[in-house]
Amino acid sequence: MVHYGVMSSRLDPTPSAGGKRERTRAALVGATLDVVAEKGFAAASLDEIAARAGMTKGAIYSNFSGKGELLMAAIAAKGLTVSSDTPAEAPLREQFAGMARGLADMLQRARGEAAFLAEFQVYALGDPELRRNLASVYAQSFDLSAEHMARAGGLKPGMAPRHVAVALQSVAIGFVVQSFLSPDDVTEEIVTETLAALAAGLIAKRR
């Protein structure tokens, strides 16, 4: 599945502009997107990606662990992750509101990418390396989100922060999938109301 970071976490393997290594990674990511657009995820070979970038396959392995990590960087380059404008130390209600804004913004960016993401998900199901990479990214995201929630405090007794992080991730993915199927039905208002309702159910009332 595609990674949609929740709360204030954002695990983004996309390189930032800068030195030679960053430029090399960016060129490989760009070439990957071009080849995938033409041939699909399964048929996109590392040899062709390297050639498209004007490099050798060794350049890929010098910058990425393999095709799985390279594809994840390409997905991240699409900007299809949820980021929050709320500080990690903010109260949980504010963090939920920040997630709602970030999710609504990402849904707008994701329109038109349904086929691309659906193909990626199908490909990931049959690629053990990619699934391991995704599982690792999700685990880090859940742990980081849980850490932020635990630090902020305020969850109702018995609510495990990591369980909440997994649930929020699942809600985010559900919104993304539904927005692809019926985009006019998944509005910013619905996203905001849903996250507010979840916050009301998960966060203890102030005394």
**pLDDT at 129 > cutoff 90:** no
**pLDDT at 23 > cutoff 60:** yes
pLDDT for 1 equals: 35
Confidence of residue 90 (pLDDT cuts 50, 70, 90): confident
Kindly give, in sequence order, each residue whose CB lies less than 8 Å from that of residue 191, ignoring residues fewer than 6 positions away. Answer: 100, 103, 104, 107, 175
**pLDDT at 17 > cutoff 80:** no
**What are 177-192's pLDDT values in tens digits?**
999 999 999 999 999 9
Q: What angle do CA 32, 56, 31 make, to 5 degrees?
A: 15
Confidence of residue 55 (pLDDT cuts 50, 70, 90): very high
Q: Are 205 and 143 a contacting pair, CB within 8 Å?
A: no
For residues 97 and 83, which has the higher predicted lDDT (pLDDT)? 97
Q: CA 43, CA 38: separation in Å to the nearest integer?
A: 9
Every domain range in the chain assigned CATH 1.10.10.60: 20-77
pLDDT for 201 equals: 93
pLDDT for 78 equals: 85
pLDDT for 86 equals: 83
pLDDT for 2 equals: 38
Q: Is CATH 3.30.390.50 what the domain over 20-77 is classified as, yes or no?
A: no
pLDDT for 184 equals: 92
Confidence of residue 14 (pLDDT cuts 50, 70, 90): very low
Q: Token pair of 152, please?
A: 């902020």
Which residue, among 194, 190, 5, has the nearest Cα to 88 in the 3D structure?
Answer: 5
Confidence of residue 153 (pLDDT cuts 50, 70, 90): confident
What residue has token string 């960053």? 22
Q: What angle do CA 158, 141, 45 make, to 5 degrees?
A: 145
